[in-house]
Amino acid sequence: MMTPEGATDLVLAAVCAALIWRKAKQSPGLAAALAAVGLAALFGVARFGGAPWAVGPHQFMVLVATNAGIPLLAWCLRWPGSLPSQQPRAACLALLFGGAGGVIIVGLLGFKLWSLLCLLFAVSLLVTAAWQRRQPAFALGTLLLIATGVVQATQPVVAGLPAIALLHLLLAAGVELTAGTATPASIGPNSAAA
């Protein structure tokens, strides 16, 4: 039987897969960032589905997604013409070094505040991008992504959904509304890297 956490992780993984399919050619960096988040979600489906082998890989990929994937996603949406957004090699290096930094700083040294700092950096980029774009859907997606941090901090139970399940749904909707509404004019090699 699938738990609410597993079901909502499946929704998040499906949203990430659909966005990768739609956006990979426009922004390889965006696709790489979504792949990190989607892979964490897939391991979450297995973990919350009762597979004990998936606990470690899920925790690892959540660390990579938090410290590298979400910041890379925000970077690509804020500066769509940048190297990490447009060059697969630069995107992979950003994920590699950001993820390795997260594993070392948070996982080995125990400095958990680092993950929060990475997410605050991502939020600042998303808010700036939302202000610049002035698209209601993008702004709503940014607010939903900010709400995931509130859910993580407060651990509420809403309508019977555990906090983790709510976080997955907010993350899926926020990613769809930000990355999914980015137009070809705002993502691609001809876009301004302002």
Q: Structure pTM?
A: 0.91
What is the torsional sign of CA 110, 143, 4, 19?
Answer: negative
What's the pLDDT at 193? 46
What's the pLDDT at 176? 97
What's the pLDDT at 185? 52
Residues 6+ apart with CB under 8 A from 65: 36, 37, 39, 40
| Residue stretches of the chain with pLDDT short of 50 | 188-190, 192-194
What's the pLDDT at 192? 47
Q: How many CA atoms lie within 13 A of 83 on its CB side?
A: 5
DSSP for residue 49? T
What's the pLDDT at 153? 85
What's the pLDDT at 194? 45
% of the chain surpassing 90 pLDDT: 86
